[in-house]
Amino acid sequence: MATNRTLTMIKPGAIRNGHAGAILAQIQAAGFKIIAMKYTKLSAEKAGEFYAVHKERPFYGELVDFMSSGPIVAAVLEKDNAIADFRELIGATNPADAAEGTIRAKFATSIGENAVHGSDSDENAHIESNFHFAATEMFA
């Protein structure tokens, strides 16, 4: 399994606020190579499937509603130490705790509408990449 990839989604709020281009530019400037990318919209069913690990959490319904509320950009990113480096680039889940200059500090509006997703492990990066992309859509 690749240890140098992560899956990101630019979430509906950041897309609506016109930040997709700036977020992608910051990702590339940080040295991540985009090896797959699509502009798409999750149905409530697919959003629920993606976040199934959070099914028992009180915010699950809100998360599914938000993630299916408009288009997203999904992308697979490649870089040495991708998981940790990307989580550092995006900042803490709650933008109130995100370090200055991070993507969430700059573009997120709340913990629920936190601009971007980043995989939390190599195993989940693999699962999440395959959720959004066929092997023929990834170009290493």
Asked if 117 is an active-site residue, the reply is yes
Catalytic residue among 19, 54, 117, 126: 117
Q: How many beta carbons lie within 10 A of that of residue 18, not counting itself?
A: 9
Q: What mask, x for binding ligand CMP by CB under 6 A, covers residues 4 to 43? A: ----------------------------------------
One of 14, 23, 36, 63 touching ligand CMP (CB under 6 A): 63
Binding pattern to ligand CMP, positions 77-116, x when CB under 6 A? Answer: ----------------x-----------------xx-x--
Q: Which residues of 92-118 are buried (b: 16+ CB within 10 A; e: fewer)?
A: bbebeebeeebbbbbbbeeebbbbbbb
Complex with ligand CMP: residue 37 or 119, whichever CB lies closer: 119
Exposure b/e, 25-48, CB count within 10 A at least 16 = b:
ebbeeeebeebbbeeeebeeebbb
What contacts 21, CB < 8 A, 6 or more positions away?
A: none
Question: Is residue 117 a contact residue for ligand CMP (CB under 6 A)?
Answer: yes
What are the residues binding ligand CMP (CB under 6 A)?
54, 59, 62-63, 93, 111-112, 114, 117
Annotated catalytic residues are 117
